[in-house]
């Protein structure tokens, strides 16, 4: 996973916990960001490596580039929150990770969350009044947090991009790259 030195290079944070990350929800958007000439940075509460999964089976590991304590939303142009059940469940209990997500949402920069990742958005109290999607089991959590849950492949609401599952990765990645290339505000409010 190489980095580009293009003058229009954006730096995208991928925030994950130590384990439980759905591998394709990290690696596919990561590779798309890199292939588009941008820099991807893996951020986690602790240094070392993180354990990805293919559903419930252990998959690859990946080295953490920066810890949550060493970064701020100002360091990046966008944030990606991969899913997996255990990953966002752990992130939502880490106050610094939740604060980083809240800062990203307040900044107006693109925040892209897939599958179970909106749990962290719920914990950060940033879904109120927003239209979003997720893995179906999060519907009640999102509605209880004041969000409007819809069953669609990809939903863009201002700077927030959400998708339901790995099958939705093409739509998720397209919306993410559009927001990175043209700015989160340019993506408007659309559904796919």
Which amino acids are annotated catalytic? 115
Give the pLDDT confidence score for residue 3 in this predicted structure. 42
Domain that holds residue 47: 11-185
**In total, how many domains does the chain have?**
1
- 65 part of a folded domain: yes
Give the pLDDT confidence score for residue 16 in this predicted structure. 98
CATH number at residue 176: 3.40.50.880
- 6 part of a folded domain: no
Residue 11 burial by Cβ neighbours in a 10 Å radius (0-12, 13-18, 19+): middle
131-184 residue pLDDT tens: 999 999 999 999 999 999 999 999 999 999 999 999 999 999 999 999 999 987
Give the pLDDT confidence score for residue 1 in this predicted structure. 41
pTM of the shown model: 0.93
Contact 119, 140 (CB under 8 A): no
30-62 residue pLDDT tens: 999 999 999 999 999 999 999 999 988 999 999
Q: Which of 172, 166, 171, 161 is nearest to 22 (CA)?
A: 166
- 30 part of a folded domain: yes
Give the pLDDT confidence score for residue 185 in this predicted structure. 63
Give the pLDDT confidence score for residue 129 in this predicted structure. 98
98-122 residue pLDDT tens: 999 999 999 999 999 999 999 999 9
């Amino acid at each position: 996973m190489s980095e580009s030195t293009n003058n229009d290079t954006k730096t995208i944070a991928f925030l994950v916990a130590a384990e439980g990350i759905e591998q394709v929800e990290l690696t596919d958007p990561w590779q798309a960001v890199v292939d588009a000439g941008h820099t991807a940075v893996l951020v986690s509460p602790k240094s070392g490596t993180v354990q990805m999964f293919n559903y419930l089976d252990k998959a690859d590991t990946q080295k953490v580039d920066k810890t949550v304590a060493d970064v701020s939303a100002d360091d990046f142009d966008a944030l990606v929150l991969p899913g997996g059940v255990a990953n966002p469940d752990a992130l939502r209990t880490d106050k610094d990770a939740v604060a980083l997500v809240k800062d990203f949402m307040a900044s107006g920069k693109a925040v892209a969350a897939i599958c179970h990742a909106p749990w962290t958005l719920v914990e950060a109290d940033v879904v109120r009044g927003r239209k979003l999607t997720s893995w179906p089991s999060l519907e009640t959590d999102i509605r209880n947090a004041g969000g409007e849950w819809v069953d669609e492949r990809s939903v863009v609401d201002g700077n927030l991009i959400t998708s339901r599952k790995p099958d939705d990765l093409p739509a998720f990645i397209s919306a993410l790259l559009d927001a990175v290339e043209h700015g989160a505000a340019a993506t408007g409010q659309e559904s796919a």
